[in-house]
């Protein structure tokens, strides 16, 4: 028997943006994943890492297995630069409640500052609202992560709250901002007229 409310359209993959390809991870991606997820600059504001060799293998196995989940609620995707075919990072869109999706991204430092995270995040908003049928897309970000905060603001997400001691990880408490984009605000920004 199918659980009520879980008949969800899957995400169309792979997805192209103007300069990037968002696709499923494969075991062949190990070296590239290890390169960025073992880099302390990348994981500075992330609850995990830096990951060692075994930690990366476990993480990659876990997310490849998650591709088979039914219904699938977690889409952690490889980000490939179209011009070079190089895997430059990861992004994710996860349904944390029935109509609420959480987005995130991380890129190898040599690709920071090119507008890639903004391009990825805009594509994830479209995917979350159009295909996952989210009503709200959220993101939580460490209060000191200025680059990510800037990305969330550039894509139109709105600051909603600050969570003091949101989480304890890596031997410290994390203060995080909550950013939110409600569907009607996103629709208005796209010139879509809501039927509600
Ligand atoms: C956060 C991250 C994905 C941003 O990637 P990116 O491709 O460089 O982002 P973009 O180029 O699209 O935009 C970055 C914006 O932040 C700004 N920025 C960067 N560092 C900044 C800083 N220290 N203070 C203020 N703004 C900063 C950039 O100038 C740019 O804004 P602009 O277009 O107005 O100039 C990248 O830094 C990263 O992978 N960090 C490690 C992982 C991580 O923290 N992920 C987010 C978890 S919530």
Distance 151 CA to ligand 1 centre (A): 6
Q: How many CB atoms lie within 10 A of CB 81?
A: 18
Q: Does 57 reside within a domain? A: yes
Digit-coded pLDDT (tens) for 53-78: 999 999 999 999 999 998 899 999 99
What does the pLDDT read at residue 195?
A: 55
Where on the phi/psi map is residue 33: left (φ > 0), alpha (ψ -120 to 50), or beta? alpha
Q: Supply the residue whose CA is at minimum distance from atom 41 of ligand 1.
A: 42
**Arithmetic mean of pLDDT, 190-196:** 69
Residues within 6 Å of ligand 1 by CB = 42, 45-46, 104-107, 112-118, 141, 145-148, 150-151
* Number of domains present in the structure of the chain: 1
Kindly report the CATH number assigned to the domain that includes residue 99.
Answer: 3.40.630.30
3 pLDDT above the threshold of 60: no
Residue span of the structural domain in which 157 resides: 15-189
What does the pLDDT read at residue 191?
A: 86
Which residue from 53, 55, 64, 77 is spatially nearest to 26, judged by alpha carbons?
64
Which residue from 119, 79, 99 is spatially nearest to 180, judged by alpha carbons?
99
Digit-coded pLDDT (tens) for 18-55: 999 999 999 999 999 999 999 999 999 999 989 999 99
Q: Does 82 reside within a domain? A: yes
Q: Supply the residue whose CA is at minimum distance from atom 32 of ligand 1.
A: 150
Digit-coded pLDDT (tens) for 108-144: 999 999 999 999 999 999 999 999 999 999 999 999 9
Q: Supply the residue whose CA is at minimum distance from atom 43 of ligand 1.
A: 106
Q: Does 143 reside within a domain? A: yes
Q: Does 10 reside within a domain? A: no
Distance 149 CA to ligand 1 centre (A): 7
**pTM assigned to the model:** 0.94
Q: Does 2 reside within a domain? A: no
Q: Does 1 reside within a domain? A: no
2 pLDDT above the threshold of 60: no
Select from 32, 150, 155, 166 the residue to mutate for testing ligand 1; criterion: most ligand atoms less than 8 Å from CB: 150
Q: Does 153 reside within a domain? A: yes
Contact 139, 152 (CB under 8 A): yes
Q: Does 196 reside within a domain? A: no
């Amino acid at each position: 028997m199918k659980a009520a409310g879980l008949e969800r359209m899957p995400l169309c993959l792979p997805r192209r943006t103007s300069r990037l390809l968002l696709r499923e991870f494969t075991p062949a991606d190990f070296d590239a994943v290890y390169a960025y997820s073992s880099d302390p600059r990348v994981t500075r504001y992330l609850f995990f890492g830096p990951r060692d060799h075994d930690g990366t293998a476990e993480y990659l196995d876990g997310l490849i297995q998650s591709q088979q989940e039914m219904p699938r609620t977690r889409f952690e995707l490889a980000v490939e630069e179209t011009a070079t075919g190089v895997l430059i990072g990861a992004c994710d869109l996860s349904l944390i409640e029935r109509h609420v999706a959480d987005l995130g991204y991380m890129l190898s430092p040599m690709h920071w500052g090119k507008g890639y995270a903004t391009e990825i995040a805009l594509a994830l908003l479209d995917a979350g609202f159009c295909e996952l049928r989210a009503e709200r897309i959220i993101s939580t970000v460490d209060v000191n992560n200025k680059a990510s905060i800037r990305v969330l603001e550039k894509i139109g997400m709105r600051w909603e709250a600050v969570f003091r001691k949101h989480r304890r990880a890596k031997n410290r408490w994390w203060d995080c901002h909550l950013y939110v984009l409600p569907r009607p605000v996103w629709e208005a920004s796209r010139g879509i007229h809501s039927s509600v």
